[in-house]
Chain A
Amino acid sequence: MKEIIRAAIVIGRRDLTAIIFSKAFILFLLGPLFPVIVGVAAGALGGQIKQDSDKPTVGILMSEQDTMRLLAVRSQLAEQVGQGWYPELRSIGKQDEKSGTQPGKSPREYLTDKKNSLVAVVSGSLENPKITATQSEADRNDDEIAMLIGYAKSGQSTQLPKVDMEIVTKSASGAKKGQQVTGQLAQVIMYFLTVLLTGMVLSNLVEEKSNKIIEILAASIPIEAVFVGKLFAMLIMSLIGITIWTGTGISGFALLASSLPLDAIPAPAVGWPVFLILGVVYFTMTYLMLGALFLGIGAMAATVREVQTLSMPVTMVQLIIFFFSAYTVTQLDQPIEQFAAIFPFSSPFAMIARAAQMPTLWHHAVAVIGQAFFTVLLLRIGVHLFKRNVMKSGAGGAKNTAKKRKLFGLIPLPR
């Protein structure tokens, strides 16, 4: 075991330094950021456009006194309820106080003049106000304008009364639903990271096989060490990538938003610190299990083309596992959810959803031990098949009476 670990470190160190110091690693780190950056930029731009288009401006075509009173009322109320509550008001002209007529253009003309960019025009007086607008804009703004006119006309104080508030906790069903959402969110993130990162393991032994280095490795160290070293090198590389992406995402959020929207995500049952740790642990376990499986499959592929052909069914398998696990989120403690928690490939997904909904921790210790054992089993199977099919080691059709036969080198078989 000591020798396997030592040799695995040699292999892992070589692989990791070869990857990290290659130009391709920069592209690997930037790759997922491109859609995120594009999405954030598009969202911000779209939001800005929406905000601008949702900021209606109403022109005031009244006497100077009425106009001033309306503007003052609007400003005082907006300070208390927010700028978006009432439409923007802008004086566009003065009405003759004696004749009641507007010198210059009519309200309709002001409205249709693109330079003004108005959604409506309020004319007349505070006693007899008139709104000129399209039907939709009139429906949208008439109540707010009427409220402002009401305050301005009556002269009542615009100081809104102070209201005491008592915040209550959410209802039990609301909390449960929220935690399910948290669990599902964690599953989706884990799934996307897994699909993004484990596929690379498929082709991990191609270089050694095509360059014939595998013979040097096989003569020097146990093949198990090659598998373990490569798997952990890829895991560390993936974790580095996730750390950088997460850090970039958090920094981006902090810059663009006033605060991180963590309050919007319902708190998991085990609490955020434990939940995040379990998230990392379960991602690691699902990566190791799938990585061990893919390493074994990819190790037997003869060419890069075969590896590429294998990628599609492998992704389909991951999708099925994810859908199955996602279905069981709402079936907590039901037989199907328990099966998902026990079945090794779906266990990490099911357990992270459990962590969101149940505070029990010992379940997770048992699950992680089971997943670790399954990873070891997958590695042994992969090594056995690799030795048999690629290295052509093992029984080649002749009876080996000298050695005790063992299934996958682990379980003794009767003679």
Chain B
Amino acid sequence: MIHAIEARGLVKIFDGFRAVDGIDLNIPEGSIFGILGPNGAGKTTMLRTLLGIIDPDEGTRSLLGSQKPISQSRNVGYLPEERGLYQSMRAVDTIAFMGALRGMPLKAARDKGRMMLDEAGLGYAADRQIKQLSKGMAQTVQLIGTIVHDPKLIVLDEPFSGLDALNQAKLERMIRAQAEKGVTVIFSTHVIAHAERLCERIAIIAKGKISFDGLVSTARDRLRPQVHLETESRDGPWRGALPDDCRVEGNWWHFTLPESGVEPLLTALVEGKAGVKSLSIERPGLHDAFVAIAGEAVAAEMDEEMAEALL
């Protein structure tokens, strides 16, 4: 498998603080890859290190096969977390400038920028200065500038933040359209819903370390399904089939599906005359998996720190 990005033992330290702490990562070409993590996990630092904006203190990285990421800048589009535009520049000139930075001829970038603004419904604003645009419009301009040069790899750092629901939907459509063309799209977010809808593979990062790297389905499978059961009776021999930490709300029983599976549970409920009124088994969402995985990482780090303190 060819990887768009590879990292081995990546470390980045700021004034003694390990913002990125030994990250190994492989991101396959042509995929939509999500990087999830709580605030301060190190997502942005990791992306900046991978893109060559900053150099790692330890470890290696390669971007589209090159160990010098800047040399691949023509094939990469990057939307940083902190949006930055020249306020006095016209929208179409901004896109042209961003395209020219990545190697496009200025005129071609300007013409294409105008076309893409038209497609995005912002053709009327092409000659307006950035300071005259709304926040959403300015972000759209910047997004167009990120992809105007037809990159092979698109990296978006928190692209959904600050966007309304309509623009979020537009952005999701754009990401899918790029992926269909074979472009590798990597985006970081702490809003799990986007990753769940878009990504095939994700990495969960917490405290500078990768806690999980794999398929979304694999992440979900880290947690057992949840059972929601409604019965007519509130007690009986069938109670023994339910786990001890079952949560009770009236005649509703909420618990994690036992390892033995659903069949023994159903048998116990029927034979025990529980009077099952409703039974649903809910596969955990990515949000729950993320909270569990990231939470485990944070807890593990806290245990380590406490153990070191005791020593």
Contacts and interface: CB of A to CB of B under 8 A. Distances in A.
Q: Do A and B bind each other?
A: yes
B57 A212 contact: no
Q: When A and B form their complex, which 8 residue pairs have the shortest distance between CB atoms, in order from nearest? A: A212-B84, A213-B84, A396-B13, A393-B54, A220-B101, A212-B82, A398-B57, A219-B78
A49 interface: no
Nearest to B74: A220
Contacts of B60: 402
A207 B55 CA distance: 24
Interface of B: 11-16, 48, 51-55, 57-60, 70-71, 73, 76, 78, 80, 82-89, 97-98, 100-103, 106
A222 interface: yes
B54 A392 contact: yes
B22 to A, nearest CB: 11
A215 B57 contact: no
Nearest to B9: A402
Contact of B102 (A220, A392, A393): A220
A212 B53 contact: no
Given A217-B101, A392-B54, A398-B58, A207 B73 contact: no
A222 B89 CA distance: 22
Given A219-B73, A222-B70, A391-B53, A397 B13 contact: yes
B55 A394 contact: yes
A393 B53 contact: yes
B52 A219 contact: yes
Interface in A218-245: 218-222
Given A219-B76, A221-B101, A211 B88 contact: no
A212 B73 contact: no
A258 interface: no
Contacts of A13: 106
Interface residues of A, number: 33
B295 to A, nearest CB: 28
Nearest to B44: A215
A14 interface: yes
Interface string A372-406: 00000000000000010001111111101010000
A374 B141 CA distance: 40
B60 to A, nearest CB: 7
A216 B89 CA distance: 15
Interface in A190-214: 207-208, 211-214
A99 interface: no
A216 B80 contact: yes
Interface in A1-43: 3, 6-7, 10, 13-14, 18, 22
A246 to B, nearest CB: 29
Nearest to A403: B55
A393 B51 CA distance: 12
A394 B12 CA distance: 9
Given A14-B97, A393-B54, A400-B58, A214 B13 contact: no
Given A10-B97, A220-B102, A221-B73, A396 B78 contact: no
B80 A212 contact: yes
B129 to A, nearest CB: 11
Identify the interface centre among A13, A14, A211, A396: most chain B CB within 10 Å of its CB: A396
Contacts of B14: 392, 396
Given A10-B106, A18-B88, 14 more contacts: A6-B103, A14-B86, A211-B85, A212-B82, A212-B83, A214-B84, A216-B78, A217-B101, A219-B76, A220-B101, A221-B101, A392-B54, A398-B57, A398-B58
Contacts of B76: 219
B151 to A, nearest CB: 11
A397 B55 CA distance: 13
Contact of B16 (A7, A10, A221, A397): A397
B15 A396 contact: yes
Given A10-B97, A398-B11, A211 B87 contact: yes
A214 B78 CA distance: 12
Contact of A22 (B52, B80, B88, B100): B88
